Amino acid sequence: MLPSDRQAHEILVGAVGLKKHFPVKGGVLRRTIAQVRAVDGVDLFVRRGETLALVGESGCGKTTLGRLLLRLIPPTSGEVLFNVPANLYASARDRWQRTAEEDGAMRSPKGPQGDGLDPYAITRLRTRAFKPFRRRMQPVFQDPFTSLDPRMLVKDILAEPILINNQMTRPEAMERVAQLLQEVGLRPDHLYRFPHEFSGGQRQRIAIARALAPEPEFLLLDEPTSALDVSVQAQILNLLKDIQRRQGLTYLLITHNLSVVRHMADRVAVMYLGRIVEEAPTRELFESPLHPYTKALLSAVPVPDPKRRREKILLPGDVPSPVDPPTGCRFHTRCNAVMPHCGWSPRDAASATAYLFDSSRNPHASTLPALSEVSMEGNRLRLLFGGSRPSEAQRQVVADLVRGRAAEAGGMAFQAIREVVLEEGSIVLEFPPPLEPAWVEVSPGHSVACYLYPQPQA
């Protein structure tokens, strides 16, 4: 046990700069050819005794983030802090954000030494030293059909966490197990049954009892009701609320069901493509969402009133691949309030240029030589014209074409082009350097990462 554990601090679980990149292996030699950026720089904290909901669509990294917080998988970089004073967490977060801006990806998983975080950072502990923390953070998983060992009796499933952590002798553990079963609304004679003899709701109750068995302080609820019948969902949620009230537990509720969020959570964090985009107290988030993604999410909540029609915000396209997330604001490719400085990059314009500047296809480009190649170089898009060196007049034509396209619908990427320059026998379209929107606290406790809201002065 760490010395800091003698007292209870305000923030029970906090993440700073947390990243998890999964390698994609390919080729004969199984070399790493790409990284799936499942969680890509997350700062998140859960206060002692509250319920924080983490929402976002499938594949945005919610579950991976949860697993990182429980140290079920090691992070690529960043820290998880446990039971940490609020001011220390805030300063760690500031420091991390500053250094992350300075040297982007160059971060060791271990933070700087002597930063005062050693007593709190569970990510810095060795496996053995971390073991006493395990029991204090327990998960409840989505699917109660795979989360219980089918070859174990309920009594053994529930007793295992207690016995592993040497918290009690076996007979004592058995008494506690019977008591736990009653706490989650099952009968003691259910102890001598196998998981397959129960319904989904009952199984989830058993999974909750198992999570409670080692007397944790923090429960990770990873979509605890989405595999259950609607009629059972409410029972399970109320049970969880009940347990929280009685035992003063802290919850992180991962879900994509916003009505569950409204029912359960004190605060909400919205996640998109590996990043937190907005964070607010529940009521405030539902009443005045700030981020366009949050607005779209909220507009998708079904309203149980056929007469009331709301304007639904439909997001175009799919979630971009986390292997190669969009530059700048990750949401800019689907955002309905997008602006030229949201992080457009050559990638967003490249496919259109093949038509726009090709003299054989676009009559307006007839004065240009034949376009032979379009290449992306960072935030520059280079147009090569089959050996012939373009002239200043031709540069002017390209600039006009860019301006014309920018005025059309869907030409936002071209609005972002800052300059059209003549260079080494080719024409280069220059985009602004990609910057991510800063994390801005708009009102107390309500933060958002979006260019719509005033950015701090650089």
194 interacts with other proteins by CB under 8 A: yes
Which one among 20, 176, 203, 210 touches other proteins, defined by CB under 8 A? Answer: 210
Q: Does 347 bind other proteins (CB under 8 A)?
A: no
Q: Is 215 in the site for other proteins (CB under 8 A)?
A: no
Shortest distance (Å) from residue 173 CB to other proteins:
10
Q: Which stretch binds other proteins (CB under 8 A): 2-10, 113-121, 129-137, 449-457?
A: 129-137
Measured from the CB atom, is 82 or 272 closer to other proteins?
82
- For other proteins (CB under 8 A), the number of binding residues is 39
Burial 182-206 (b: 16+ CB within 10 A, else e): ebbebeeebbeeebeebebbbbbbb
CB of 90 to other proteins, least distance (A): 28
Work out whether 192 is an interface residue with other proteins (CB under 8 A).
yes
Q: What does each C-alpha distance from 177 to 162, 189, 217, 371 come to in angstroms?
A: 9, 11, 18, 74
Q: Which stretch binds other proteins (CB under 8 A): 75-83, 205-213, 318-326, 355-363?
A: 205-213
Candidate list 104, 171, 317, 410; residue touching other proteins; CB under 8 A: 171
**Minimum CB separation from other proteins for residue 39, in Å?**
17
Q: By C-beta, is 156 or 266 nearer to other proteins? A: 156
Nearer to other proteins, 153 or 452 (CB): 153
Of the pair 149, 324, the CB lying nearest other proteins is at 149
For the CB of residue 197, give the shortest distance to other proteins in the complex, in Å. Answer: 9
Residues within window 131-170 making contact with other proteins, judged by CB under 8 A: 131, 134-135, 137-139, 141-143, 146-153, 155-156, 160-161, 164-165, 169-170
The CB-of-291 to other proteins minimum distance in angstroms stands at 31
Q: Is 355 in the site for other proteins (CB under 8 A)?
A: no
Minimum distance from residue 93 beta carbon to other proteins (Å): 26
User: What is the nearest approach in angstroms of other proteins to the Cβ of residue 151?
Assistant: 4
Establish if 179 lies at the interface with other proteins (CB under 8 A): no
Q: Which is nearer to other proteins, 211 or 285 (CB)?
A: 211
Q: Residue 273 Cβ, how far from other proteins at the closest point, in Å?
A: 24
Q: Using CB under 8 A, which residues numbered 35 to 94 contact other proteins?
A: 67, 70, 72
Among 111, 214, 292, 390, binds other proteins (CB under 8 A): 214
Strand order through the sheet with 31-47: 31-47, 11-26, 77-84
Would you tell me which residues interact with other proteins (CB under 8 A)? 67, 70, 72, 131, 134-135, 137-139, 141-143, 146-153, 155-156, 160-161, 164-165, 169-171, 174, 192-194, 196, 207, 210-211, 213-214
